Structure 1
Amino acid sequence: MAGMSDRAGLGLAEDELLPPADWGRRGGSAPGTRAVLLFGVLAAGLVLGRIWVAPGIDARALDAWATVFVAVCVQALPFLVFGVALSAAITAFVPASVWRRVLPRRPAAAVPVAGAMGAVLPGCECASVPVAGGLMARGVVPAAALTFLLAAPAINPVVLVATAVAFPGRPEMVAGRFAASLLVAVLAGWAWLLLGKGDWIRVPSRPHAHGTAGRLEAFRQAMRHDIMHAGGFLVVGAVGAATINAVVPSGWVSAVAGNPWASVLLLALLAVLMSICSEADAFVAASLSQFSTTARLTFLVVGPMVDLKLIALQAGFFGRRFAVRFVPMTFCLAVGVSALVGGLLS
């Protein structure tokens, strides 16, 4: 009865504000129990690693691993928090009718419009995932939300300005990145619209709220759920990126720079594995002067759409069944379109 009176005080119906007891959970165990188990496993892993693994690791390699891990987390965390806050605000304060007015009713037409909307949101790929989830929760067709997810980190003003600064006197790199990234995002949205199935993607659920107090509570609930959920996957992606950066010898990179097709594929894979924030990747691409324009453009297009931390975040938000289908499709489109646009620029 106390719970019902609290809801009544907020002016809400029984099922309008608070999510069900298992919202955002997997399985039946309590979050505290899972946290204790996870901490125990982590502590045991650290102890075993200190005893068995640490003596065989070169200090410089360990320093490089730690540097990359911290850099990925520090770069991504502010944008992740920004994206989670924006997603929660969309969920709690923006009525679903707004999106029906902004986006065309036909899903095929909504896809390119959603891609163009990505040009106005400063943020990296970590921010775009929770925002796309918030859009889906408000009734936006998944294909359009996914188009926004791919376009926003690649064509927003901050990224384009950073690209212009990294490649002074080469406006074709800015134009090529914008055109190729937007085209990949739209093609991926249309492909998902045609080929995607509803049971392949887990649309994030959100509680509906009315009234000021109810909306604030819904905002708080969504923020708490998403930041805890996405933060863990960000750490997983950062661990993978740091491990790859510390293990892959630099000599292997230089050995294939002279082969046009091998260099394109190599930089595409490095973009996935290095997981550099989209606001900073242009400076890394500019430093790879031994590679062709097409290869460096591929690095710039693939990175914001497919990297380790983004794969982990997508799997966490939308499910593994979605990630194993959407990620390879996006990667192939990004490489193919980049090679085509890069050939036109050369």
Structure 2
Amino acid sequence: MHVLVIAVLALTLAGTTVRSAVAGTPVVATAATVFCGIFVQALPFLVLGVLISGLVAAVVTPERLTRWVPHHPAAAVVVAGVSGAALPGCECGSVPIARRLYSDGAVGAAAVTFMLAAPAINPVVLVATAVAFPGEPAMVFARCAASFLTALTVGALWIRFGQPRWITRKMPDLHAHGGSRWAVFTEAARHDFLQAASFLVLGAAAAALLHIVVPSWMYDHLAGHLILGIAVMALLAVVLSLCSEADAFVAASLSMLPLLPRLVFLVVGPAVDLKLFAMQVGMFGRAFAVRFAPLTFVVATLMASGVGLLIVGNR
């Protein structure tokens, strides 16, 4: 927070100088326009998402979620997937909740299903996708369907092949220091906002650079080779590590690519990326993360490609 305040003050004081430098350089002006367009569009949804996420953290405890999960593995996976749609929040918040579910005796497959479903198919993310892709309702439906199928498929595979011994990290007692619901709400919202906004800035900056650095013939090449475009966008989603409440605006800015590779970007990103891998190592353990991340990447890419071909086609 201190770094954020200092940076805002410094940019405010240097605003006139920076504005003159940007206006006098067409390439930088183009990048700045793309960056500001993405950030300004995404920010309201980001704020709404972190406020709801903080409310969920304060009211819906992991212990309460555990009591709602059925004991039958298959039923638990379905319930966890559906409940993810009802609990808005980014992937940064879903990982600790899923870890708490796992440690409190809930079916492990339900925990990983919730971790994949919650940041991908909740109402805030879907509305943001609809705003980012006006006139393309198929993108919203395709993202929801592909992400939901990804969560259910990984959960089903975890029932068959998952091993509790892969979970090597223990969760601390969250109630050891007490604290009111208001304190939990403000801390969760503050943490999620700073975490998500920082990655939004990086993602918007990366999209702006792609507009001015990558030559247009390369996008034409990717557009003409569907499999290559899908692979590149899937890897880009992992590297950029965007928040699911803002990634649709970055994907929409890459209008030089067909819808299908951009759909893959939107499905893979909330399921597996670098920051999620680091969080999963810290909360579940390395043995879990090195198995879960590749599995999720393959399933998410295949589901997004299959659903995308059926719904949005190659356009």
- The normalised TM-score by structure 1 is 0.64
Displacement of 1:188 in angstroms is 0.6
Q: Which residue of 2 aligns with 1:99?
A: 66
The number of residues matched between the two structures is 271
Q: For residues 150-206 of structure 1, give each alpha carbon's deviation from its aligned partner in whole angstroms, at most 9, with x where no partner exists.
A: 111110001111111112222111111111000000101111121111111236434
Q: Which residue of 2 aligns with 1:160?
A: 126
- Residue in structure 1 matching 2:250, options 284, 293, 304: 284
Task: Provide the C-alpha distance between the structure 2 equivalents of 1:235 and 1:272, rounded to a whole number of angstroms.
Answer: 17
Which deviates more from structure 2 when the two are superposed, residues 168-177 or residues 239-248?
Answer: 239-248
Q: Which residue of 2 aligns with 1:148?
A: 114
Q: Which amino acid aligns with 1:216?
A: G
Q: Decide whether the 8 Å contact of 1:230 with 1:313 is kept in 2.
A: no
Q: Which amino acid aligns with 1:143?
A: A
Q: Which residue of 2 aligns with 1:139?
A: 105
Q: Which residue of 2 aligns with 1:250?
A: 214
Q: Decide whether the 8 Å contact of 1:125 with 1:277 is kept in 2.
A: yes
Q: Decide whether the 8 Å contact of 1:263 with 1:295 is kept in 2.
A: yes
- Residue in structure 2 matching 1:329, options 262, 286, 295: 295
Q: Decide whether the 8 Å contact of 1:79 with 1:127 is kept in 2.
A: no
Task: Provide the C-alpha distance between the structure 1 equivalents of 2:99 and 2:90, rounded to a whole number of angstroms.
Answer: 15
Q: Which amino acid aligns with 1:280?
A: A
Instruction: Label 1:328 to 1:207 Cα distance change in 2 as closer, same or farther (>3 A).
Output: same
Task: Provide the C-alpha distance between the structure 1 equivalents of 2:147 and 2:230, rounded to a whole number of angstroms.
Answer: 16
Task: Provide the C-alpha distance between the structure 2 equivalents of 1:108 and 1:305, rounded to a whole number of angstroms.
Answer: 20
Q: For residues 276-325 of structure 1, give each alpha carbon's deviation from its aligned partner in whole angstroms, at most 9, with x where no partner exists.
A: 21111112222222222221111110111112211211111111111111
Q: Which amino acid aligns with 1:250?
A: V
Q: Which residue of 2 aligns with 1:110?
A: 76
2:171 alignment partner, SS class = coil
Q: Which residue of 1 aligns with 2:151?
A: 185
Displacement of 1:268 in angstroms is 0.7
Q: Which 5+ residue runs of structure 2 have no aligned equivalent?
A: 1-27
Task: Kindly report the root-mean-square deviation, in angstroms, between the aligned alpha carbons of the 2 structures.
Answer: 4.0
Q: Decide whether the 8 Å contact of 2:133 with 2:252 is kept in 1.
A: yes
Q: Does 1:216 align with 2:182?
A: no
Task: Provide the C-alpha distance between the structure 1 equivalents of 2:78 and 2:276, rounded to a whole number of angstroms.
Answer: 22
- The normalised TM-score by structure 2 is 0.70
Task: Provide the C-alpha distance between the structure 2 equivalents of 1:138 and 1:77, rounded to a whole number of angstroms.
Answer: 30
2:139 alignment partner, SS class = helix
Q: Which has the larger radius of gyration?
A: 1
Q: Which residue of 1 aligns with 2:93?
A: 127
Q: For residues 88-113 of structure 1, give each alpha carbon's deviation from its aligned partner in whole angstroms, at most 9, with x where no partner exists.
A: 7655xx656x633x222201210011
Task: Provide the C-alpha distance between the structure 2 equivalents of 1:335 and 1:268, rounded to a whole number of angstroms.
Answer: 7
